Chain A
Amino acid sequence: MTEEERRAPDPSDLELVQRARSGDDAALGALAKRHHAAAYRVALGFVHEDDVAQDVVQDAFLRAFRGLVGFRADASFRTWLLTITANEAKGALRKKGRRKETALEDAAEVRSEEGGPAHDAIVRQEAERARRMLEQLPEKQRLSVTLRVEEGLSFKEIGEVIGSSEGAARVNYFHGIRRLRELME
């Protein structure tokens, strides 16, 4: 990498989309690298199984990349991708016929940001509880909490993903947080 490349700011999603449209495979890879984690966690929130969530995310990216040619400059690639991911996840659930209840232990590993086995055990126990409570929230509340807390989306972006206004997304988030706190008490 040259000094000039090191100093250059990261390209925006829109720039990457434009490069990908021109057949730049590296741009596709950069978009995937930037957004695959958020897409995976959104998918996992629906399907609860790691292998199914990975399939969902792959399919979502394929659909998104196939549709790049018509992507509007005023749209957000991230919210568009996450909307596709949510829809793919719902499709996967419909194929299964029912929403399978899966223990947290069967899902992906959770991680603690502080050290120590005792602390990790407590965090894990509380986290399992919180995650189970999160699953009890209505879909839009759950997605609003997940997208705000885990992915840092703005309420405007969350609204785009869940198909609501910015105000409704904000209310869904605070409803969800309040319900979680009530359930955790």
Chain B
Amino acid sequence: MSEANTPHCGDVRELIPDLVAGRLPAAEAARVNGHVKTCTDCRAELDLVRLLHATRAEVPAGLLDRITRASIARRPARTWWGISAAAIAALALGIGIVSDDASAPGAEVPVFVREAEEGEIWLSDDGLVAGAPALDDLSDEALLELLDELTNVSTGGGA
């Protein structure tokens, strides 16, 4: 086994985004930094993640104000906000209303699932487009095997 693919590579790569963003405790950061110094593959991944993180899009200055003003101006009448979620849910069930608001979070089925069923989102199967297996159909064991391959097979950087 080359130094590029030590048994710790998978663990380290999972933590690289947290290292770059400064979210890791000092001891953990030291462990990850120590590994990438000796592993060319993980070092290359660190460089890529650092580049992506450092060049994220700047958020427009007026956006927050715009959202806040629009949200306050267009929020529902205050009397309705005081009614509990349970009361609303009970009312909806009692009179057989099915909301057509896709953003309603109280529904049993998550929004993205409901919209997927309606054909509104995830119009293409990314995995198939990419030539990769359809991940959602795989068992946990199969996902673990695939993950192991992804994090331990060299991309050509140092194995």
Contact = CB atoms under 8 A, between A and B. Distances in A.
A84 interface: yes
Contact of A66 (B55, B101, B136): B101
Contact of B126 (A69, A80, A141): A141
Place the interface of chain B in its size category. Answer: 35 or more
A78 interface: no
B64, B72, B103: which has the most chain A beta carbons within 10 Å? B103
Contacts of A170: 14, 143, 147
Interface string A64-77: 11111111100100
Q: Summarize B's interface: helix, strand, loop or mixed.
A: helix
A32 B71 contact: yes
A170 to B, nearest CB: 6
Contacts of A111: 54-56, 58
Contacts of B104: 67, 70
A33 B63 CA distance: 10
Contacts of A167: 135, 138, 140, 143-144, 147
B105 A145 contact: no
Contacts of A156: none
A71 B85 contact: yes
Q: Summarize A's interface: helix, strand, loop or mixed.
A: helix
A126 B103 CA distance: 38
Interface in B24-83: 44-45, 48-49, 51-60, 63-64, 66-68, 70-72, 74-76, 78, 80-83
Given A22-B82, A57-B63, A181-B45, A28 B72 contact: yes
A128 to B, nearest CB: 9
A152 B17 contact: yes
B159 interface: no
Nearest to B146: A171
Contact of B111 (A36, A41, A84, A110): A84
Given A37-B59, A134-B52, A168 B135 contact: yes
A124 interface: yes
29 contacts: A23-B81, A32-B67, A33-B64, A36-B59, A54-B60, A57-B63, A58-B67, A58-B70, A62-B74, A64-B103, A65-B75, A66-B101, A67-B106, A69-B76, A69-B85, A70-B89, A70-B105, A70-B106, A70-B107, A71-B105, A87-B112, A108-B57, A111-B55, A138-B129, A150-B53, A163-B116, A167-B138, A167-B143, A171-B150
Interface of B: 13-14, 17-18, 20-21, 23, 44-45, 48-49, 51-60, 63-64, 66-68, 70-72, 74-76, 78, 80-83, 85, 88-89, 101-107, 110-113, 115-116, 120-122, 124, 126-127, 129-130, 132, 135-136, 138, 140, 143-144, 146-147, 150-151, 155-157
What 6 A-B pairs are tightest by C-beta distance, nearest first? Answer: A70-B106, A138-B126, A127-B55, A167-B143, A63-B103, A174-B150
